[in-house]
Structure 1
Amino acid sequence: MDPQKQKEQFQYAYVCALAAHAGLNRGSFDVDDDSIDITFQAKGNFGSGRLRSPMIQVQLKCSSQQMIADDVIKFPLKIKNYNDLRGDDVVVPRYLAVLLVPDDLEEWIAHNEDHIALFKSCHWLSLRDYGPTDNQTTVTVDVPLSQRLTSKTLWQMMDRASAGESL
């Protein structure tokens, strides 16, 4: 398999594991023409929000490149993805998730006697309040290392979505 496809599949599996742990349903569209790779949904009344069955949408990116500087991932995002993910004029909150994996494929996963471990870490960013850019091909966005995507974070995103907000 092409190494980039392996990264895409690994990240999909990574976030699916988080969703399963959080008790969230997930789905994807056959055609990715709106920069959305995966959608998460909660069933019925959720948290303290007023909206039932909240949803969030996520663009997945995976890289083994050394992109960390000053406690952020300096991620070059294609302008189409940037424009699709930014702004507050969408019904469902949108997020960018960047998974950093080791350079060596053999280090992505560890098989142990009683568990497996997935490496390394996934981080998220909301582009909701980002404005237009004059860039033509890419925009480098800063994804804070402090914004780790976990099953708890997915719950928090869903809770905010049920209140009609996003993080």
Structure 2
Amino acid sequence: MGNLDVSACKEWFSVAYVEALSYAAGYAVTVVHVDHFGVDLEIRDRALRVDVQMKCMNESDVKGDHISYDLDTRTYNLLSDPGRNVPAYLFVVEVPEAKNDWVLSNSEGIHLRRCGYYAKISALEPTANKATKAVRVARENRLTIKSLDRLMREARGEL
């Protein structure tokens, strides 16, 4: 196995996870390499786009109805800014504890493990917190081709 830091592996695995879903749904993905405005990815359909802050975490032992993710205050406030003209989301991809279990590869193909979830941050109020803001990400908001398409249709004003 390689020597790349596990946090870098998580970051790029989560990007690949969302890229796979996006391209399967027919949307383009732009990776933002310098994160000045709290955006890691832009998912696009011609002139339409949604902004995404990506996070990856180990699969939770707690299997409740939501994940709580502490987002740094600066990023949270950039994404929840009421002056935004583009919807902004937090995408959290959960992976198994062991890096070897993130991908299952066999004669049927490649299976990316585990699940991704989303929360619309641009619909929330900015915070006065100094360090972090906990964001509740509902497990029912699972990232799938269908849900990604719904987010894009909502951004287009169709829903």
Q: Contact 2:84–2:122 at 8 Å: present in 1 too?
A: no
Shift of 1:141: 1.1
Aligned mates of 1:8, 1:18 — CA distance in 2: 16
Match among 137, 143, 147 for residue 143 of structure 1: 137
Question: 1:139–1:129: structure 2 CA closer, same or farther, 3 Å change rule?
Answer: same
Aligned mates of 1:164, 1:29 — CA distance in 2: 27
**Gap regions ≥5 residues in structure 2:** none
Pairing 1:55–2:58 present: no
Query: Per-residue displacement from partner, 1:92-111 (whole Å, max 9, x unpaired)?
Result: 11100000101111110101
Residue aligning to 1:28: 31
TM-score, structure 2 as length reference: 0.91
TM-score, structure 1 as length reference: 0.87
Pairing 1:90–2:72 present: no
Aligned mates of 1:77, 1:110 — CA distance in 2: 30
Shift of 1:69: 5.8
Aligned mates of 1:131, 1:147 — CA distance in 2: 20
Residue aligning to 1:15: 18
Pairing 1:101–2:95 present: yes
Pairing 1:115–2:118 present: no
Aligned mates of 2:87, 2:62 — CA distance in 1: 26
Counting strand residues as a fraction of each chain, which structure ranks higher? 2
Q: Contact 1:19–1:154 at 8 Å: present in 2 too?
A: yes
Match among 138, 146, 149 for residue 152 of structure 1: 146
Counting aligned pairs with the same residue, the percent is 31
> Residue type of the partner of 2:35?
D
Aligned mates of 1:66, 1:159 — CA distance in 2: 30
The alignment's C-alpha RMSD in Å is 1.7
Q: SS in structure 2 opposite 1:146?
A: coil
Q: Contact 2:33–2:40 at 8 Å: present in 1 too?
A: no
Residue aligning to 1:49: none
Question: 1:82–1:69: structure 2 CA closer, same or farther, 3 Å change rule?
Answer: farther
Moved over 6 A (4+): none
Question: 1:88–1:157: structure 2 CA closer, same or farther, 3 Å change rule?
Answer: farther
